A and B are shown apart, each in its own frame.
Chain A
Amino acid sequence: MSPTWIITKRELKANFDTPVAYIVLCLTLPAVAFNFFLNKDLGFFDINRASMTWLIENVSVLVVILATVLTMRVMADERRTGTLEMLITLPVKDHQVIVGKFLGTWAVVLCAVALTLLFPLTMFVWPWKLGALDWGPVLSGYLGLVLQSAACVGIGMLVSSLTESQVIAFVVTTIVLAFLHSTNFLIDSTETQWLRMALDFINFDSRVKSLARGLVTTRDIVYFLSIPILCLMASFHMLERRKWA
C-alpha cells in the first residue's frame, strides 16, 4: 500500500476516533432536516414540488462548517505537537503527506454528504414514495457538493498549514469559507461592475445552486477543482518550507 493511502486511512480513522465529527454531525444534520422541511418560505412542503434544491443548499452550508472544523487540526496540530516530524521522518514524500491528509479529511466530509442522500432515498424510494423525483438534478447537485467539499477542505488545509494554532486556523477558515459561500448577498451592495462580477465569480453558493438545478457546466467544475489543486500545491510548499526556513 502506498504511503498516501496509509496516511489517508489513518486520517480517516483519527477523525472517527475523535468526537469532533460526530458532534458537528449531530448538531447540524437535525438543523438541515428542520430547515429543509419546515422553513416557512422554502420548506419542502411549502414549495409543493418534488425538488431537492433546497436540501442541497442546506447541505452545502453543512459542508462549509464540517470542513472548517475538520481541517483546523490537520496540519496545525501536527506541527504544534511535533508529530509532523515523526511522520515526515518516516520514508514518505512531502506530497504524499499532503495528499493523504487531504483525502482522509475529504472522505469524512463526503461521508457526511452521503448521509444526507438518505433524505431523497427515504422520501422517494423506500419506505415512502412521495412521487416521481427527477434524479438528474439531484445527482448533479451532489456532484456540486462533492466538488465544493473538496474546495472547502483544500482551503482549510492550506490555512491550517500556515499556522500552528488550531484556533487561528478555525477562525481564518471560517471567515474565508463564509465569505466565499455568501458573496452573492454582497453583490447588491455594490454598483461597481467588475466587483459584482468578481463576487459572482468566486461565489460557492450560486455555483452549487446551478448544479443542483441540473445545470452542469465546465466553468463550475473547473472552478471547484482548481481551488483544491492550488491549495494543495500551496500547502505542499508550506510543508517544504520547513527545510529552508
Chain B
Amino acid sequence: MIEAKSLTKYFGSFRALDRVSFEVKKGEIVGFLGPNGAGKSTTMRILTCYISASAGTARVHGIDAFEDPLEVRRKIGYLPQRAPLYVEMSVWDYLRFCSEMRGVDTSTFKTRMKKIVDVCGLARVLGKDIRTLSHGYRQRVGLGQALLHDPPVLILDEPTSDLDPNERAEVIRYIQETGKNRTILLSTHNLNEVEAVCARSIIVSKGRIVADGPLDEIKALSGKVRYFVTLSAKGGKPSAQECADALRGVAGVTALRELPTDGSSHRFELRGSARGDLRAELFKLATQRGYTVLELRRETDSLEDAFKVLTRDDERADRGRAGRDVEEALAPAAATAAAAAAAEEDDEEEDEGDEADDDEKVDKAAEAAKAAGDDADDSEDDADDEEEDDEEEDEEEAAEKAAEPEAPAKSPSKDPKKDGR
C-alpha cells in the first residue's frame, strides 16, 4: 500500500533523509517514530507529494508518487502537523470545500458527513468558525477532512500533539475506529499511543531508519531481554550455587544474577540475547533436574527504552556532545540497524542485492561497534566474558555493547563537558 524505496532528501547540503525504505501493507497501522527533526514529516510530505525526494521512489496504493501525484493524493487522507486549517471558515464550509476539491458530490458529502460527525465528534461545532475552536477540535476537523473521501490510505502527522489527555484518548479511539480497513501511517511522540494502536512501528533517527518491525522486536532491539526464574528450595535443596550453575549452562544465557529471596526459593535474573526465547529451554532444564518452577518470566524493555537507545545520537547532538568522528557517531545506529536487518533475514528471504548490502552493513557495524565497545570496556561490569563463540552471537553482543547508553559517551576523542560549554 505504501512503499518507500531508498528515499533520500537534501535540503541544501543538509541530508534530511538517507535511503529510507519501508513498506506498509494493506490494513496495517504503523507507528512512525523518531525524535523531532529525524525526518518523519519530510517522509510524509514526500509520500503525499508535497515535496519531492532527491532520490528514491515512493508508491502509494501502487501509484508512483512522482509520476502521478494527483492520483496519489486522491488515495490519501492526510493530516499535517498541527492541523493547519482556514480559520476564517466554518467547520461545515471547510469540509465542504475539501470535499469539492476532491470531487465528492453534494449527496455523497452529506452521507459521509453523518458518519464523520459521529466518528470525529463534530456535531456541536459544525456551524462554528474554525478560529473559535480549541486545538483538540481543530485536530478533529483535520481528521474529518482526511476521512471525507473515504481514502484507503491515511497519513497522520502527530495527530495528538498539543492535545489534553482526554482529547488524546478520543483521537486515538477515532484512529482505531477508522483504521479497521485502512492503511495508516501514524507519526507521534507518544509511545503509549503507538502501543495502543500499532502492531508495527518504524523508528527513524537523523534521516535513517534505525528499526522497523513488530513492537516486540523493536523493544528487544535495546538489547536487554531479561528472564526471571524462581525455583522452589524447600528444605534447602537444591542449593543456590547448583541452580545457578545449571542455569548458566543453558545455551544463550549471557549473564546471571541472584536476586534476594526469603530462603524458601532461589530467584535469578538472567540476561539473554535480544532475539529468541529461552523460556522453553529453561523449563526443560528445570524439569530434567526435578526443580519446581515457581516463576518463569521473559521481559523486554519498554518501547520507550528502545526508542531512547535507538535515537540516542540525536539527543547527544542536541546537547553539543557530537564531537566524535561522523562514522563513529553513526556506528551504534548502524549496528542496531544491522541487528534489525539480521533479524529480518531470519523471517524472509531477501533479494540478492539487498542481502549483499546487508552483509556489508553487518560487517561494518560489527567493526564500528567493537571499536566503540573497546573504548567503553571499563564501564562494562557485566559478565560479558561469557559470550558464546558463535559468530552471530558475537555480532549481537557487539551491537549490544554499542547500544549501551554509557559506552560511546566515554569515547576519548573529545571531552564532552568542554563541548557542552
Contact = CB atoms under 8 A, between A and B. Distances in A.
A binds B: yes
A17 B49 CA distance: 31
Contacts of B45: 85
Contacts of A242: 50-51
B51 A86 contact: no
Interface stretch (B76-84, B201-209, B269-277, B325-333): B76-84
Contacts of B70: 91-93
B85 A92 contact: no
B178 to A, nearest CB: 18
Interface string B42-85: 00010011111000000000000000001101101010111011
Contacts of A85: 45, 50, 80, 84
B51 A17 contact: no
A153 B272 CA distance: 69
Contacts of A13: 89, 93
A245 B11 CA distance: 6
A14 B48 CA distance: 26
Interface residues of B, number: 32
Interface centre among A1, A18, A91, A92 (most CB of B within 10 A): A91
A82 B80 contact: yes
B52 A243 contact: yes
A139 to B, nearest CB: 35
Interface in B163-190: none
A89 B80 contact: yes
Interface stretch (B95-103, B191-199, B391-399): B95-103
Nearest to A16: B88
Given A6-B100, A6-B101, A14-B89, A90 B84 contact: no
A10 B97 contact: yes
A3 B101 contact: yes
Interface in A1-48: 1, 3, 6-7, 10, 13-14, 17-18
Interface string B128-160: 000000000000001001000000000000000
B82 to A, nearest CB: 7
Contact of A89 (B78, B85, B93, B100): B78
Nearest to B157: A85
Contact of A90 (B81, B82, B102): B102
A244 interface: yes
A83 interface: yes
Contacts of A10: 86, 89, 97
B101 A88 contact: no
A91 B102 contact: yes
Contacts of B89: 10, 13-14, 17
B101 A81 contact: no
B51 A14 contact: no
A18 B88 contact: yes
Given A91-B74, A93-B70, A243 B51 contact: yes
21 contacts: A6-B97, A13-B89, A13-B93, A14-B88, A17-B89, A82-B80, A82-B84, A83-B85, A83-B86, A86-B142, A89-B50, A89-B76, A89-B78, A90-B101, A91-B70, A91-B73, A91-B74, A91-B102, A243-B51, A244-B51, A245-B12
Interface of A: 1, 3, 6-7, 10, 13-14, 17-18, 81-83, 85-86, 88-93, 242-245
Q: Closest 6 CB pairs between A and B?
A: A82-B84, A243-B52, A91-B73, A90-B101, A89-B48, A83-B84
Given A6-B101, A85-B50, A89-B80, 15 more contacts: A10-B86, A10-B97, A14-B88, A81-B87, A82-B81, A83-B84, A86-B80, A89-B76, A90-B101, A91-B102, A92-B73, A92-B101, A244-B51, A244-B52, A245-B11
